[in-house]
Amino acid sequence: MGSSFKAPNVTAENDGEKEFRWYCEELKKYGWLKDFTREPETFKVLDPFVALREVHHKSKDNTIQNFNLLRPVNYTYDFRLVWNPIALYIFTEIYQEGEAFRFGKPPFISHRLELFGRMEIVTYVDVKPHSSATQRGARTSSSYSFPFIQKMLMHLHGLYINKIIPSPDNKKDGVNTCLFATTFTPNRYLFTEGGGSMRKLHHMPIKIESFTKKKGAIIQKMLADIENKNLKNNQNQLF
């Protein structure tokens, strides 16, 4: 895994990051998430590319000097999530090379890593607006660079950064695919910034209790089906 160091500065929180923070706060309140941190560290993706140049002197022999032909590539992700084990299969699964995700691609892909002296279930998140919003002029340099950073970290260091789009944009794009639509909508998002009136929503909100209960029931049914198939196979082998 690539080396990391403390992020030099914490940037101002944008709207998408604020919405995702509300989501994490609700996960933590209900015991699914152990903790979360915004911009805690920066990953070194690629070292500088070092070349040589000749330095000319008037009286002494010329010397050879190293210099950075290409600057290093560093990357600061938006959030680090540390899950409680009960979140496995409901919200996350741990990536292991060569092994299948047991119930399809999870909402969050995690790694089992040592953090502060303990083995934890850790997810890295980069919060992005919907692609349609970036096409209408909200595209930033990170919108271009993130796909390449994401691929390099995975291919070179085995580290997966989850791209998360919290909510649909104002044009209703992502109404069925954003995080709030595919999992649950945090209660704080239901209200406007002043907190006094209901927000106009472009998707059908689901509460965290309803989502986790339904997802848990589905997983239990799938596990029961697997157990029944294994039992039948064992019985057939006896005859």
Rounded to two decimals, what is the model's pTM? 0.87
Collapsing DSSP states into helix, strand and coil, what is residue 160? Answer: coil
Number of domain units in the chain: 1
Q: What is the pLDDT of residue 136?
A: 46
Nearest to 31 by CA among 90, 105, 118, 95: 90
Q: How far apart are the first and last CA of the chain?
A: 50
Tens digits of residue pLDDT in 184-198: 999 999 998 776 799
Percent of the chain with pLDDT over 70: 91
Tell me if 96 is assigned to some domain: yes
Nearest to 113 by CA among 103, 104, 121: 121
156 pLDDT exceeds 80? yes
> Quick check: 88 and 102 in contact, CB under 8 A?
no
Which residues have CB under 8 Å from 160's CB, separation 6+? 95, 109, 111, 124, 150, 153, 154
How confident is the model over 93-104, as a mean pLDDT?
A: 95
Tell me if 126 is assigned to some domain: yes
Tell me if 214 is assigned to some domain: no
138 pLDDT exceeds 80? no
How confident is the model over 40-69, as a mean pLDDT?
A: 96
Tell me if 169 is assigned to some domain: yes
> Quick check: 80 and 124 in contact, CB under 8 A?
yes
Tell me if 229 is assigned to some domain: no
Tens digits of residue pLDDT in 180-230: 999 999 999 999 877 679 988 888 899 999 999 999 999 999 999 998 988
Tell me if 143 is assigned to some domain: yes
C-alpha distances in Å from residue 52, one per residue of 49, 58, 99, 119: 10, 20, 44, 43
25 pLDDT exceeds 90? yes
Helix, strand and coil percent figures for the chain, each rounded to 5:
35, 30, 35
Average pLDDT in the chain? 90
Range of the domain at 113: 4-205
117 Rama class: left (phi>0) / alpha (psi -120 to 50) / beta: left
pLDDT tier for residue 1 given thresholds of 50, 70 and 90: low
Tell me if 230 is assigned to some domain: no
pLDDT tier for residue 132 given thresholds of 50, 70 and 90: low
Tell me if 217 is assigned to some domain: no
